[in-house]
Structure 1
Amino acid sequence: MISYPSRHCTVELQALPSRIGQVRRIVSAQLRYWRLDPLIDRAALGVTELLSNVHRHARPDKSCTVELEFEPDRLTVSVRDHDPRLPVPADDADPADATPLATCGRGLAMVAAVSESWGARPDGDNGKVVWFTLPATPGRPAPAPCPAPEHQPAPVPVETVATVRASITAGAVATAGSVATTVAAASAGTATAPRAPVPAAASATTTATGGGGPR
């Protein structure tokens, strides 16, 4: 289960190798959303080491909870499991306790190396929390690119606009006069259907033959 309050992210999982890779991707995506990209590599490495410790050493089960908490000046990453034994860094461990099931290991040294601070604390009677912090300075969003200027048509000269308007007006007046003349003629009963023009060739033939027949 994953929950995403505004400054807090919680992931519940079984610390198995296949799930550890998924949690790394979730952590990376969440930090990217918070614009904490410079912290992604260190946070992913630290949480991988803590989950690997749970997978190797925690008992009676491997269920755990990963939490990310983003405060104004720091990011806190913690892993909570059900094993009450607190981890001990390898350099501080008693060599007699260096068994395959020991809760100490080199992973904590890696966590200490990549983090600003780290620690472990009991969580109730049957669990613990191991955590580390990173200095957090959220990045500023990239400025939006300036839109490309749209193509603007070339301005039409004022003289051209005046000429076009005058032409349109003159045409409208001429059309209106023609319509008025046709209406008046129709009212007087003298309107006739327009005669079709006689082709030039036909007119020439009629003139050449005159009134007589062909010779």
Structure 2
Amino acid sequence: MVSKPSRHCTVELQALPSRISQVRRIVTAQLRYWRLDALIDRVALGVTELLTNVHRHAGTDKTCTVQIELDLDRLTVSVHDRDPRLPYVHEPEPGATGGRGLALIAALSESWGVQPHGRSGKTVWFALPTPPLVPLFTADAVYGSATTGPLAEPVVLESVATGDSAHTPARSAVLG
């Protein structure tokens, strides 16, 4: 049996404004690594909205976990926090500066939802279809073909630079 491959990226944080922008950069770097540049704007906006909700509504414990999971044809983004109160979509008052976050999540995603975890909190998630991926390498490019021959030099891929080394990935729990 062939199982469906997936990739994960998990970031734990305090949902504070400075950390929200940092997580947005980490998520953007991860999507670029996965070659999903077409999803960056929607995912960054969705993550910002969900983390802003944690910042505004989760009380004093702003600890949360952002997870993005890539399956073959779907990217799922989730934010787990420790506040058991469930969010809901409501019609904001005219001129209100807030109250549109979940409506925005619904508009930018293919699907979304809330999974309660009893007293230990909840997970709010949204999903997007992934565009068709173009392979990094083809067998002809790696092994050569009768018309192209083998590569003269190895292909070097750039990595996301954080800290002192230009060869370290963004600071997150990244698999894949």
Scaled by the length of structure 1, the TM-score of the pair is 0.56
Written as runs of structure 1 = structure 2, the 5 A alignment for 1:1-215 is 7-91=7-91, 105-141=99-135
1:73 positional shift: 1.0
1:142 positional shift: 6.5
Q: 1:127 to 1:34 in 2, by over 3 A?
A: same
Q: What amino acid does structure 2 have at the position aligned with 1:11?
A: V
For 1:138 and 1:29, locate their aligned partners in 2 and report how far apart those are by CA, in whole Å: 19
Return 5+ residue gaps in structure 2 as ranges: 1-5, 142-147, 149-176
Judge conservation of contact 1:36–1:138 (CA < 8 Å) in 2: no
Judge conservation of contact 1:13–1:19 (CA < 8 Å) in 2: yes
Structure of larger gyration radius: 1
Deviations 1:79-126, CA, capped at 9 Å, x for gaps: 0000001101123x8x8xxxxxxxx92111111111101110112422
Residue aligned with 2:120, SS:
coil
1:133 positional shift: 0.2
Q: What amino acid does structure 1 have at the position aligned with 2:106?
A: A
Q: What amino acid does structure 1 have at the position aligned with 2:55?
A: H
For 2:29 and 2:132, locate their aligned partners in 1 and report how far apart those are by CA, in whole Å: 14
Residue aligned with 1:109, SS:
helix
Q: Which has the higher contact order (CA 8 A, sep 6+)?
A: 2
Q: What amino acid does structure 2 have at the position aligned with 1:116?
A: E
Residue aligned with 2:39, SS:
helix
1:7 positional shift: 0.2
For 1:7 and 1:27, locate their aligned partners in 2 and report how far apart those are by CA, in whole Å: 13
- The answer to which structure has the higher strand fraction is 2
Count residues with an aligned counterpart.
133
For 1:128 and 1:141, locate their aligned partners in 2 and report how far apart those are by CA, in whole Å: 36
Scaled by the length of structure 2, the TM-score of the pair is 0.68
How high is the sequence identity, in percent, across the aligned residues? 70
- The answer to which structure has the higher helix fraction is 1
For 1:134 and 1:85, locate their aligned partners in 2 and report how far apart those are by CA, in whole Å: 25
